């Protein structure tokens, strides 16, 4: 009798949690519609990405029916954010922010740098397609940053690495020997690059500047930690 009572009590206590989890999952699995995108503020967009990374880092990513989302977004996409990230295989933006089909635009290039094509892609993501936030996502132990620190010369990589000159220029003697084995120095360059890249967008694009000034768009810089899965947001 006691066992039965305990069992019933536990079950009754567990049900609200189970129902809440199912409800949260159905909300996360709902695709972004034009109306939902329109009612999302830039702050909502950043908060949504933060919550997604917290789920990912806690091992609680939501499991949605992706093929259902494929069908629901086939006619139109209304992503709420755009992420500029590195090509690094350990930092896939949709996974680390726990996002799915139709949620976010992703531009990926070694070291998350910008050029005319990337800025054009971000203009499309925001001005044309309505995304409310741009996140420049750097990460620790980045091969591109390490190569820039070591001043590697190799094929087209040489030209790519020139994009890190402004971040490298933030280094001082206090940062120690300029070598890719100097982890704090590499991290400093990576963070500076993410910050400078984010800050450069309004200079490089009158369209993005106008959206930010109209408070229709927010730009943020963040760093992903490949050892923990956690994203930290740079001020
Ligand atoms: Zn990288």
What is the CA(169)–ligand 1 centre distance, in A?
19
**Confidence (pTM):** 0.90
pLDDT at 19: 59
In whole angstroms, what is the distance from residue 10 CA to residue 230 CA? 33
pLDDT at 25: 72
Count other Cβ atoms within 10 Å, centred on residue 127: 16
What is the CA(25)–ligand 1 centre distance, in A?
31
What is the CA(88)–ligand 1 centre distance, in A?
5
pLDDT at 121: 98
What is the CA(208)–ligand 1 centre distance, in A?
25
What is the CA(141)–ligand 1 centre distance, in A?
7
What is the CA(50)–ligand 1 centre distance, in A?
20
111, 144 in Cβ contact below 8 A?
yes
pLDDT at 235: 75
N-to-C CA span, the chain: 58
What is the CA(102)–ligand 1 centre distance, in A?
24
Q: Mean pLDDT per 10-residue run, the chain (235 residues)?
A: 47 53 76 96 98 98 96 97 98 98 98 98 98 98 98 98 98 97 98 98 98 98 98 93
80, 40 in Cβ contact below 8 A?
yes
What is the CA(219)–ligand 1 centre distance, in A?
20
- Residue by residue, what is the 3-state secondary structure of 180-194? CCCHHHHHHHHHHHH
Query: For residue 163, what are the CA distances in angstroms to 113, 155, 176?
Result: 7, 15, 22
């Amino acid at each position: 009798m006691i066992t039965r009572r305990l069992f019933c009590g536990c079950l009754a206590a567990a049900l609200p949690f189970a129902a809440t989890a199912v409800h949260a999952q159905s909300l996360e699995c709902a695709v972004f519609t034009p109306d939902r995108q329109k009612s999302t503020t830039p702050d909502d967009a950043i908060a949504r990405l933060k919550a997604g990374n917290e789920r990912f880092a806690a091992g609680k990513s939501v499991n949605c029916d992706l093929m259902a989302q494929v069908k629901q977004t086939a006619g139109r996409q209304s992503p709420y954010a755009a992420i500029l990230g590195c090509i690094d295989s350990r930092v896939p933006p949709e996974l680390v922010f726990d996002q799915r089909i139709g949620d976010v635009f992703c531009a990926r290039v070694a070291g998350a740098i910008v050029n005319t094509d990337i800025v054009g892609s971000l203009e499309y993501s925001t001005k044309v397609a309505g995304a409310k936030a741009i996140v420049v996502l750097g990460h620790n132990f980045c091969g591109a940053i390490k190569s820039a620190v070591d001043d590697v010369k190799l094929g087209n990589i040489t030209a790519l690495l020139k994009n890190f000159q402004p971040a490298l220029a933030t280094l001082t003697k206090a940062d120690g020997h300029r070598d890719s084995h100097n982890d704090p120095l590499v991290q400093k360059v990576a963070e500076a690059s993410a910050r400078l890249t984010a800050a450069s967008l309004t200079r490089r694009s009158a369209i993005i500047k106008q959206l930010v000034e109209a408070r229709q768009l927010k730009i943020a810089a963040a760093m992903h930690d490949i050892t923990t899965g956690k994203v930290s947001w740079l001020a």
